[in-house]
Structure 1
Amino acid sequence: MTAQRDETALAGPPDRREIRAVFLGLMIVMGLGAIDQSIVATALPRIVADLGGIAHLSWVVTAYVLASTATMPLYGKLSDQYGRKPMILAAVLVFLAGSALCGMARNLPELIVFRAIQGLGAGGLLPLSQIIIGDLVAPAERGRRQGSIVAVFAVCSVVGPVIGGVITDLLSWHWIFYVNLPIGAVGLFVITRALRRPHRIQARRIDYLGSLLMTAATTALLLVLALGGTEWPWDSPEIGICAALAAGLGCWFVVHVRRVPEPVLPLDLFANRTFVVASAVMALASMGLLGSSVFFPLFFQAVMGVSPAYSGFLTGPLMVGVVVSSIVNGRLLLRSGRYKPAQIAGLSLAVVAFAVLAWGAATARGFLVIEPAITALGLGLGLVMPNMTIAVQNALPVPHRGVGTATLVFFRSLGGLMGVTGSGAILAHALQAGGGALSSAPDAGPGGIATLSPQAQAAMIELYRHAIATTFELGVAIVAAALVALLFMPELPLGGHPAAKQQAPAEG
């Protein structure tokens, strides 16, 4: 009788206490995934010294990124079918199992395999957390919660390298993985206790072939993006084979999902204009942001001449801007119930910020120009990405909300990888074009410029300055394309907002 009363109570709208408890568990889980990459990056030199194999060191990061990105849409679909709670618990358990195995790795090949296992779990942490928030909180109130999510990622990106360095110095690199276990256990306990929303499980046929084709095609594409021009030359047989596999498996996947009644990635999603435009905007915005911001530390060290530690401090305003605008945006969304005006303003501000960065880098402007532009870039993008998740969840019907949200996160990750790869190729080409300066000091990276003669120093600094300015110019073009695409996205009334005539209908 008591259990029946509890189930009836849980069938109603969640109260503030339940939302806060679930949100605490989700923030712990998202923090695990957000902080992992920066902690591991700090410990890589010590890992190489212990395990060797520096030629394959990049695979420690690449294996994790490939596995996590490829599995994001799959987690969304499975959560629609089997429920949010079982899937997020499974994702956390796989992530923790991979963390424990990474800590026990005895050589680099083992660590790479275990990092892939860890990535298989990490692929569900962010999308499932956003899906659960979408289930519990009305779209009109969701913006206020998104600020906390962004704050988690901002704090983790700042403290991650510090924590990684401290743990590695005081204990060993093994503990950067073991530390996930107690934190993850707390997250599991909180989510298990707090997340008790009933989910109607319907007997459905699982699209095993579609899942396999989607994962394999995505992995082949990500291998091209992640390793092209670095581990493998662009004209190498490996790149050709992976590109051919990505194209072939992708075509097979499209043919397959048109034929099966319940595909792993429903084509109905792509009939929804909000989802299609949102995916394009997220991919382009992430491409521009990561493709350019990844070179901020290089710009500060090689061109501005600051130390590595201080360069991290100078990059901080980017995340400060994102957090501030996300929090402000949540309050504005709660009042107005409109998300598109803020997105247009945000992308417009980001275009101007990238233009100022490109001009400032090319014309040797100082911190008084560069730092405000970086802050403005964060402020602009903080108005775009949280709102886009809200727009998609508001536009999709409940049966497709999980896979739609996860696929949106997938496109964001894919865009970021494309941005980093493309900008890296452009930077390398620009540096190679200045062969005269490089020939005198082929290994003169940021740390080696100070050892050159004054003439060679000036030549190298100018070379880096104009090469990085080129990546900022690329950011202008990409974010401007995102702004144009955004203009074609419809704005639907937000469910749960007083201004809405009715609950936001499923578009398309």
Structure 2
Amino acid sequence: MSTPTRASVGFRSERGPILIALMLTTGLVAIDSTILATAVPSIVQDLGGFAQFPWLFSVYLLAQAASVPVYAKLSDMVGRKPIILIGIGLFLLGSVLCGFAWSMPALIAFRAVQGLGAGAVQPMAITIAGDIYTVAERAKTQGYLASVWAISSVVGPTLGGVFSQFASWRWIFFVNVPLCILAAWMLMRTFHEKIEKRRHRVDYAGATLLTLGMSLLILAVLEGGQAWAWDSLWSIGAFVLAALLLVAFVLVERRAAEPVLPLWMFSRRLLVTTTLISLGVGAILIGLTSYVPTYLEGTIHVAPLVSGLAVAALTLGWPIAASLSGRFYLRIGFRNTALLGTTIAIVGALALAITSTHPSVAFVAISCFIVGLGMGLIATPTLIAAQSSVGWSERGVVTGTNLFARSIGSSVGVAVFGAIANAIIAESAGGEHDPATVQAASTAVFVAVAVVAVLTIAAGFAMPRARVEDVELSRQAPSPTD
């Protein structure tokens, strides 16, 4: 593994060029997650397939989420650098293919290639940061990485609108080409690893069963109530087949020499609780980013750009709190910092629900900012606690599992919040475009987000009271797989 000299955390330090490269690679995924939304009308006008366009988002999320555990395990076997470069290469290939797409089905297929690349890029960037920075330094570096998402939440939709209006929607994909090349060049030039050479037994069976099982499960959750009814044959069949594949996966992992998702992870209280917290973070995040714009646009008819800026307040609060979280967990511990963050998130979510009867962009932005502060104090310390509790050879799979849980939380959140909103809309006489109906549905979702935050704080209370010194010492303990 890489063992650079410890210096100050910043762009001018010895590790500064690596941090810049990681921020650039993170930016590829962050911008892509927001730039497409504003270009959808132009894409549909050019390619047709209006009924199919939601798959542009679903297939990307599906490919990204399902591939994360596999990449994470491979990075523990062969190193982070080759995996993140493979991810950048796939993302570049997918971007070029999307730019030349000739039909909606082709664009959907090429978005899946992009998703496979994103599945390697994001977790590897966070894992590399965990490798080269100490526990005390990681909060600030995670704040830098989180700030990329804050910037992208504003830059992405703006670029998407500019390209669609003044050039072509295809440029939202072509713009990734120079960014991918620059990111790959910087990583190859600045980031160097020393990997212990030994033979590995790749868990092909486990990787296949996990990918297929989780793909079916995420697909069933994303499309349930949308593409098909929850009680339809398609929905039931997808859930049943996913369950069977995952049961087979567990049986295979119990005998695998180097399992793609080691079962010992589920016997460690710290890893289990931080994974559950990550599930809650994913659900809270998707609940607000999905329904705040709908609420503002449907009740007081603000422009999409204004509603987007209100959501951006959440991604502004997140990196601010994340960069400061190190001061908290070094003093009061990981558990208490996470509990503090969850309490703040609950306050923000309740404020959003209570004030939703009087729609206001200012109230929404302030509430989202408060939730963002809470998220920064939840997500960053719990991820760092999980990373720091294991050695290099296990950090990739631990980081990947944490981010994978966040993706699952978002997927389940989409389904649950959508079911809540649709139930209220179905009972309303005004229809889905009636401001009162939109307000009622959004308020119910905001209350549900607050409930998720309460459940998340319950997982926080279950975290062990490990001090930073205890976690760092545990890294020296023999690996359970040795």
* CA distance in structure 2 between the partners assigned to 1:86 and 1:360 by the alignment: 49
Contact 1:144 1:331 in 2 (8 A): no
* CA distance in structure 2 between the partners assigned to 1:274 and 1:233 by the alignment: 38
What are the equivalent positions in structure 2 for 1:147-162 lying under 5 Å apart? 147-162=143-158
2:234 alignment counterpart: 238
Structure 1 letter corresponding to 2:331: S
Q: CA deviation at 1:11?
A: 5.1
* CA distance in structure 1 between the partners assigned to 2:227 and 2:123 by the alignment: 29
Q: CA deviation at 1:293?
A: 3.6
* CA distance in structure 2 between the partners assigned to 1:40 and 1:475 by the alignment: 25
Q: Does 1:474 find its partner at 2:474?
A: no
CA distance 1:367–1:129, change in 2 (3 Å):
closer
Consecutive unaligned residues in structure 1, runs of 5 or more: 1-6, 439-443, 446-459
Q: Deviations over 1:303-345 (max 9, x none)?
A: 2332222222233322222122122223444x53732222111
Instruction: Give TM-score scaled by structure 2 length.
Output: 0.94
Q: CA deviation at 1:45?
A: 1.1
Q: CA deviation at 1:273?
A: 1.0
Instruction: Give TM-score scaled by structure 1 length.
Output: 0.89
Structure 2 letter corresponding to 1:347: T
1:484 alignment counterpart: 458
Q: CA deviation at 1:375?
A: 1.9
Q: CA deviation at 1:367?
A: 5.0
CA distance 1:369–1:216, change in 2 (3 Å):
same
Q: CA deviation at 1:431?
A: 0.6
Q: Deviations over 1:412-445 (max 9, x none)?
A: 01101111221011101101111x222xxxxx63
1:360 alignment counterpart: 355
Q: Does 1:314 find its partner at 2:336?
A: no
Number of equivalent positions: 475
- SS at 1:384's partner residue? helix
Contact 1:494 1:503 in 2 (8 A): no
* CA distance in structure 1 between the partners assigned to 2:280 and 2:326 by the alignment: 23
What are the equivalent positions in structure 2 for 1:176-215 lying under 5 Å apart? 176-215=172-211
* CA distance in structure 1 between the partners assigned to 2:310 and 2:271 by the alignment: 35
2:392 alignment counterpart: 398
Consecutive unaligned residues in structure 2, runs of 5 or more: none
Q: Does 1:260 find its partner at 2:256?
A: yes
Structure 1 letter corresponding to 2:133: V
* CA distance in structure 2 between the partners assigned to 1:20 and 1:59 by the alignment: 38
Q: CA deviation at 1:365?
A: 6.0
Range that drifts further, 163-172 or 401-410: 163-172
* CA distance in structure 2 between the partners assigned to 1:365 and 1:299 by the alignment: 8
What are the equivalent positions in structure 2 for 1:370-381 lying under 5 Å apart? 370-381=364-375
- SS at 1:81's partner residue? helix
Q: Sequence identity, in percent? A: 34
Q: CA deviation at 1:116?
A: 0.7
- SS at 2:430's partner residue? helix
- SS at 1:490's partner residue? coil
1:295 alignment counterpart: 291
* CA distance in structure 1 between the partners assigned to 2:471 and 2:378 by the alignment: 21
What are the equivalent positions in structure 2 for 1:61-100 lying under 5 Å apart? 61-100=57-96
- SS at 2:200's partner residue? coil
Pick the aligned partner of 1:122 from 89, 106, 118. 118
Range that drifts further, 314-323 or 196-205: 314-323
* CA distance in structure 2 between the partners assigned to 1:133 and 1:501 by the alignment: 16
Pick the aligned partner of 2:215 from 213, 219, 226. 219
Q: Does 1:19 find its partner at 2:12?
A: no
Q: Does 1:336 find its partner at 2:327?
A: no
Q: Deviations over 1:263-283 (max 9, x none)?
A: 111111111111100000110
Q: Runs of 4+ in structure 1 displaced over 6 angstroms? A: none
